[in-house]
Amino acid sequence: MQYLPTYDSRDSRYKTPYGAVASGTQVQFTLRPPRPEAFSHASMTARFESRNNEIILVKMPWQGHELGQDLFSVELDTAGYVGLIWYSFRLEKLDGRNQELGPYQLTVYDGEEAVPDWFGQGVTYQIFPDRFCRSRVPDPEGMVGGRWVHQSWEESPEFRPNRYGEIRNRDFFGGDFQGVIKKLGYLKSLGVETIYFNPIFEAAENHRYGTADYGRVDPMLGSNEDFSLLCREAHKLGMRVMLDGVFNHTGYISRYFNGDGFYPETGAAQSQESPYRPWFNFSQWPQKYDSWWGIYSLPAVNENDPGYRDFIFGGEDSVVRRWLRAGADGWRLDVADELPDDFVRGIHEAARAEKPDAVIIGEVWEDGSTKVAYGVRRRHILGGHCDGLMNYPLRSAILAFFQGGGGESFVKGMETIRENYPPFAFYSSMNSLDTHDTPRLITLLGAGGEYRDQTKEWRAKFRLAPKQRAKGKDLLKAAALLMFCFPGSPTVYYGDEAGMEGFEDPFNRQTYPWGSEDQDLLNWYRALGRLRRRYQALRRGSIRYLAGKGPLLVFLRETEEERLLCAFNAGDEERAFHVDEGKLCPLLGQPQFSQMDGLYTVALPPRSGAVFTVK
C-alpha cells in the first residue's frame, strides 16, 4: 500500500495555516504515520528562539485513523510571540523504539500593521543615475571628488586603477534628472510603476554609495527641485519613486567625515570636537577608523549614536522624512543586514509617519527570514522593519534553472522562501535578474559563466559572439517571463530590455544605448509589462506548481476570478507536458498545443516560456 508521508509542512492535512503565521495564530499540526508502524505516542518539541530559546514539549493525542494512517494532532499557541520557532516531532512505540522528525521552521510575525501592497504588484525599473540618460554634457568644475566627464556617451566606463593603484570611480557620463524626465514616456511604455534609483545624493564617486551630503542631490543630476519635479511628473503617469538609502557608511569625502577637507564644515577627520565625531569609530584618530568592508573611502557610521539616528530618521526634518516630502514614495535600504534592527525599525516608523503608504525594501542576499548578521538573527520581515527584500534567492534559482539545474531545485528553493516569509514580504519582494552588483544575465547565460579566470581587460572588451548572443537572448526572454510571472515586483535593471551586455562592475554599468536598442527584446519587455499590468493573477494571485522536473517548470497563478498557467523549458530540445486544468488560451510565447477530451498537450520550444489563460 502506498502511504502518504508522515509529515509535510506544506500540506494543509499536516499543518494549518500554511507557512508563516501572524502572532496569536493557533497552528494545527498533524502527524500521519502508517498504522503498521504501530506508533502509540507522539509529541512535539518547540523552541522559541527569540524568547531566550525557551523549549516546550507538548503531547500529540491520537485522533483516530484515515486511509491506513494514524492521526496525532496538537495546536500550538503563538500568542504574544514574534520570531522563529523551531519544532520537531517524536513518535514512540510500546517497545521503546522511536522516530524523530525535524527540526522545521515556523516564522511568527507581527501582523498588527497593514503593509502597503502597491510595490509588489507592478513593474519596477532600476536606474543607475549616471548612465541612464543625460540632457547635456555637464561641466564638473568645482564639484566634489575631482571627477571628469566622458564627452562621448558611447565610451566605456573606466576600470583601470590610477597611478597609485586605486580604482576611484571618478569618471562620469552625466546622466541627470532632466534626462529621466524626458524618458518617462518610455518607461511608461514598459509598464513601469516604480522607478528605483541607485543613490542620488552628492558624492565623489560615480556610483554615489559614499554619500557626501544627504541633504543635496548631486549637482550633476540636477537640483533638489529637479528631483521633486521628476517625482511630480512620474506621479502624473502613475509611477512611484524609490530612493536608495545608504545609511551604514558615508564617504571619506563628505560633510561629515571630510577626510580631504573639501567641505568648509569641521568634519570628524578634522577635529575631535566636530559634531560629527561621534558618528564614526576611530581606533586611532584620525588615521584609523572602521570602514565598510575595510574600504577606506567608505567610513562606517556608528548607527547607535543618538545624533546620527536623529539626523537619519528621528526628527521631523530627518533624511528619511525630508525626501519623502520632496516626492519619493519609499526607500531601499543598502546593506540592510548591517544596520541594527532597531535602526531599521526607526526608519520604518519615520517613513510611515511621513507617508502612510511609504514602503521600505531591504537589501539582503539570502533567505531574509533566517539571516544572521554580526551574531544576531535579523528581524527584517517580522513586521515593522522591512516590507520586502531584494529577492536574490529568486535570481539564483532562475539562473540555476536556465543553466541546467532542474525544475526540482527551483521549486524546492522557492517554496522554502514562500513558506518562511510572511505573505506581505513574499509578495513585496524586489525580484531582479540583474542589478548594479551582478553581471548582466544575457552575458552570463550566453557566455556560460563570469570568466573570472580571464583578465579584467579581457572582460572589458568581451562581447557575445552571434551564436552566444542568440542563446543568451533566448534564455533572457524566458527568464524575464518567469520573473514577470512570479509573485513580487519584477524589477528591470536599466538596459536589460535593450540587450545590454557586461560582466561585473563597471561593465554592467555602461550607458543606455539610446537609438541602438535590440528592438526584438524591447518589444518582448513591453509585452511583459502589458501582461503584468493587465492580469490580477500575476499581480496578487497565489502560486501553485504543476510541474518541476529537469528543464520543465509549470505553475498556476490564481485569484478567485482569474487563472494563468505559466510554463518554461530551459532545455535545448522541445519539451511537452499534459494539463487538465481547463481550457487554455495562449497569451504570450510560441507554444504548440492540442486538446483531446479536456486534456491539453503543450509543447514548448527550446529555451522558451509561454503563458495561458485557463478558463
CA-derived radius of gyration, the chain: 26
Which residue, chain included where needed, has cell 511568527? 108
Residue 62's pLDDT is 98
Residue range 245-294, pLDDT digits in tens: 999 999 999 999 999 999 999 999 999 999 999 999 999 999 999 999 99
Residue range 73-91, pLDDT digits in tens: 999 999 999 999 999 999 9
**Cα separation, 367 vs 369, whole angstroms:** 6
Residue 597's pLDDT is 86
User: Quick check: pTM over 0.85?
Assistant: yes
In a domain, 398, yes or no: yes
In a domain, 606, yes or no: yes
CATH number at residue 558: 2.60.40.1180
Which residue, chain included where needed, has cell 497563478? 557
Yes or no: say if 614 and 583 are a contact pair by the CB < 8 Å rule: yes
The verdict on 317 and 455 lying in the same domain is yes
C-alpha grid cell, residue 399: 539562473
Query: 121: closest CA among 467, 535, 443?
Result: 535
Residue range 39-70, pLDDT digits in tens: 999 999 999 999 999 999 999 999 999 999 99
In a domain, 349, yes or no: yes
Q: Count of domains in the chain? A: 4
Residue 598's pLDDT is 83
Residue 189's pLDDT is 98
In a domain, 148, yes or no: no
**Cα separation, 330 vs 352, whole angstroms:** 9
What is the phi/psi pair of residue 600, to 5°? -95, 140
Q: Among 484, 514, 534, give the residue marking a domain's end.
A: 534
**Cα separation, 558 vs 562, whole angstroms:** 6
Yes or no: say if 488 and 557 are a contact pair by the CB < 8 Å rule: no
The verdict on 234 and 259 lying in the same domain is no
Query: 155: closest CA among 170, 139, 173, 141?
Result: 173
The verdict on 225 and 241 lying in the same domain is yes
Neighbours of 367 (CB within 10 A): 17
**Cα separation, 267 vs 582, whole angstroms:** 68
What is the mean pLDDT of each successive set of 10 residues along the chain, which is 615 residues long?
92 98 98 96 98 98 96 98 98 93 98 95 98 97 96 97 91 98 98 98 98 98 98 98 98 97 96 98 97 96 98 97 98 97 98 98 98 95 98 98 97 98 98 98 97 97 98 98 98 98 98 98 98 98 98 98 98 96 96 91 98 97
Domain of 271, in residue numbers = 249-294
Residue 163's pLDDT is 86
Identify the DSSP state of 338. G
The verdict on 303 and 272 lying in the same domain is no
Identify the DSSP state of 517. -
In a domain, 172, yes or no: no
C-alpha grid cell, residue 588: 504570450
The verdict on 254 and 327 lying in the same domain is no
**Cα separation, 475 vs 443, whole angstroms:** 10
In a domain, 3, yes or no: no
Strands of 464-607, DSSP E: 489-493, 542-549, 552-558, 563-569, 575-579, 584-588, 592-596, 599-604
One DSSP character per residue, 2-21 reads PPPPS--TTSTTTEES-SSE
Which residue, chain included where needed, has cell 547607535? 304
The verdict on 286 and 303 lying in the same domain is no
The verdict on 413 and 529 lying in the same domain is yes
Residue 94's pLDDT is 86
The verdict on 263 and 368 lying in the same domain is no
Residue 3's pLDDT is 87
The verdict on 509 and 368 lying in the same domain is yes
Helix (H) or strand (E) holding 349: helix 341-354
In a domain, 1, yes or no: no
The verdict on 354 and 502 lying in the same domain is yes
The pairing of strands 211-217 and 288-289 is: unpaired
In a domain, 317, yes or no: yes
**Cα separation, 289 vs 283, whole angstroms:** 6
CATH number at residue 42: 2.60.40.650
Residue 519's pLDDT is 98
Q: Among 508, 534, 560, give the residue marking a domain's end.
A: 534
Question: What is the 3-class SS of 310-321, one letter each residue?
Answer: HHHHHCCCCHHH
Residue 425's pLDDT is 98
The verdict on 432 and 504 lying in the same domain is yes
Q: Among 267, 294, 321, give the residue marking a domain's end.
A: 294
The verdict on 243 and 275 lying in the same domain is no
